[in-house]
Amino acid sequence: MAVSPAGSRRRTEHGPQIDSTVLPTVRQVAHGIDLARAHSYSAQDDEAIAALLTAETKSPQLVRHNPAVREIVRDIQRRTPSTGRRGSQIL
């Protein structure tokens, strides 16, 4: 599922409904990362982080070394207020 900012709303609505457990682990992780990216585009940071953490439980090495994950986390950090408050309940 390719993710663009324009289609992120539709993907955040329908993405969680997809049962990726029937797919190979690599595809499950890719789905989780794509879902996290869609949530990030919609500024739904808690949902994005939750999707990344779920993907990480399936394959930590695929998540930790993925450039898209770094971009998602960087975007979330940029939206987090610099006053010391947390922007996400999960962080």
Range in 1-10, 24-33, 40-49, 69-78 with the lowest mean pLDDT: 1-10
CB 32 within 8 A of CB 59: no
What does the pLDDT look like over 56-79, one tens digit per residue? 999 999 999 999 999 999 999 998
Q: What is the DSSP string of 63-91?
A: HHT-HHHHHHHHHHHHHS-TTS--SSS--
What does the pLDDT look like over 11-34, one tens digit per residue? 555 556 677 778 899 999 999 999
Q: How far is CA 91 from the centre of its chain?
A: 14
Instruction: Report, as an integer, the average pLDDT of 45-61.
Output: 94
Q: CB-side exposure of 62: number of CA atoms within 13 Å?
A: 18
Question: What is this structure's pTM?
Answer: 0.73
